[in-house]
Every structure is written in structure tokens, then in C-alpha cells.
């Protein structure tokens, strides 16, 4: 079991915010991406952050977007579509979306519209 599974989303979230804001994107855009992937609305996302929900519990409660399988590419040298562990793949999906947002990709492309 990977250590990231038991890490709280709240402990990583500020790093996501810093990454996207450094590249001129907003926290609201980041939240939109997370909400698209997980199905959580803003209040549910804030509740998970406040409760310091682990990635394991966060994704166990998420209603993953049916278009999440369209997320492809490489994160940390690993192709997200080839990750075998379902939980790790969901975490990599989130990482990939954050990367795309930070790189300036248009929101409709990030959200696979």
C-alpha cells in the first residue's frame, strides 16, 4: 500500500493551489477540476479538506466522472492509463489534471469537453 493512500488530501491541496497559481491559474479553476473528477460540489470538497480525509477515503466516496478514462498521458514518468491499482490511477488522474491546468491548457480541454 502506497503512503499517498493514507495522506490527507488537505495536506496536498495547498501544493496544488501553489502550482496552479504560480502559472497564473486560480484556486477556483483548481476546485472546478477536482469537482469535475470527483463529483463533489464546493461544500463537499471543503468538508473533506476540513476533515483531513485521506486520499483512500476521498476517492472511495467520490463519484468519478465517467469521462475520467479519457485522461491520458504521463505523470512522473508513468502513463496514467496504464496504472494498475485503481486508487493510484485516480490519484494520478488528479495529478494529470492539475498539471494540465498549470500548463495553461484550456478548461474545456482539461475537463474533456
Cα separation, 49 vs 87, in Å, equals: 18
- Which pLDDT score, from 0 to 100, does residue 25 have? 97
Its pTM surpasses 0.85: yes
CATH architecture of 3-106: Orthogonal Bundle (1.10)
Residue with cell 477556483: 28
For 79, list phi and psi in degrees, rounded to 5.
Answer: -75, 120
pLDDT in tens, 36-83: 999 999 999 999 999 999 999 999 999 999 999 999 999 989 999 999
Calpha distance 13→77 (Å, rounded): 22
Amino acid at each position: 500500500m502506497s503512503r499517498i493512500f493514507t495522506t490527507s488530501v488537505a495536506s496536498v491541496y495547498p501544493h496544488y493551489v501553489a502550482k496552479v497559481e504560480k502559472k497564473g491559474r486560480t484556486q477556483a479553476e483548481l476546485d472546478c477540476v477536482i469537482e469535475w473528477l470527483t463529483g463533489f460540489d464546493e461544500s463537499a470538497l471543503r468538508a473533506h479538506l476540513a476533515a483531513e480525509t485521506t486520499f483512500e477515503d476521498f476517492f472511495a466516496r467520490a463519484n468519478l466522472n465517467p469521462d475520467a478514462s479519457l485522461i491520458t498521458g504521463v505523470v512522473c514518468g508513468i502513463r496514467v492509463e496504464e496504472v494498475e491499482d485503481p486508487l493510484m490511477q485516480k490519484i494520478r488522474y488528479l495529478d494529470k489534471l492539475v498539471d494540465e491546468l498549470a500548463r495553461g491548457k484550456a478548461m474545456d480541454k482539461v475537463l474533456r469537453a
